[in-house]
Structure 1
Amino acid sequence: MTTTELAIFIALSLAATVAGAQVHRCEDATGKLMFSDRPCDAGQSGGQILRQRTQAEIQQERQQAYEAESRKQDRRFAEQERELAEQERRMLMQQTQPPVDDWQTRKNRENAATSAGSIANNGSRWDAKAEAERAAQRREESRRRQAAQKEFMLTCTGGICTDEYGASYSGSGATLFRSDGRTCSVTGSVAYCQ
């Protein structure tokens, strides 16, 4: 290092030391406030408000800041661990608990089943195949109900009788024959079939 570089380094070091040094608050006789790095003049009142800190004080302040940051990071890490443990606990509880079968869940299942069987379920276009399947299901349900039932209400006009399910009856008097071949006896407007 040359003498010129050494002189510049010393001058800059001194300037930095002076810049970070003491601060004085001074008030003159007219009440004007001034802040300076020099002590107040003889005609001014006031004093030093910020003194230059020692290296030990600066080092202690840095150490305190480091320790505070370390504590802050430790708290964050502990909080993250607690959140992770809570998430794991919730997942374990969900796996061990039986599924909830409340009203809303049942309704959602019923709605899904209804939508799946809808005749307009393929992109809101009419589904003729689904319509035919549903009509066949309705006819089969009607046949099952008729087969289980022994008693039918009749409506007769012009010698032909029909029941509430659309089955027709032929014959006269107290004995009628249903379209599926069953023999029925009639009492008033009720047919009893074997």
Structure 2
Amino acid sequence: MITEQDIEQAEARVTEMRERGTRLAMANREETADAIRLEVGRLTELRDAKERQDHALKARKTAERPHLPELKKLNAELSDSAETVDRARQEAAQALGKLIAAVRGHNDSIGAVHARLAALGLPLADESVDCYETGHGSAGVLRASGTVLAPIPADTLTLYVVSQVMAAEFGPKYPQRGYRTPGSTA
């Protein structure tokens, strides 16, 4: 969109070029005259384009006038639907935040149980048995009643959940990532 400020800036360039041309009147007359003509030509083109733009805007307003009630209704519908999308986005962000909080809480529980099993001297394996039903292993991994548990990377699980939704909604373009939740067989 061409603004009045654009026109004013072009006029200022023409004035500056003319002043520079006056100062350099004796040297490079042809180049100075060419530069002034070029800036004047640009200014003229800009004014013409602004005039066409203003005419088109006026014609558009005239064409829209009989449809203003309908256009207002359409804008209201779009505003409502945009608000619905924004509320859903906020709810999804809150849900993902709850997921991350739950994962962190779960990881804290795994860490506490791991520390307690270590304090009790119950390793996952020793020289006699290569894997007990309950015990602590390395890197925060533990086994409780035969179920292996490890800290869950919250970012990975969050991306996995999002990829599940994307795959369900948009098909094979968004394949699910292979993440298994603790205790799952899939």
- Give TM-score, length-normalised by structure 2: 0.23
Answer 1 or 2: which has greater strand percent.
1
The structure number with the bigger radius of gyration is 1
Answer 1 or 2: which has greater helix percent.
2
Of structures 1 and 2, the one with the larger relative CO (CA 8 A, separation 6+) is 2
- Give TM-score, length-normalised by structure 1: 0.22
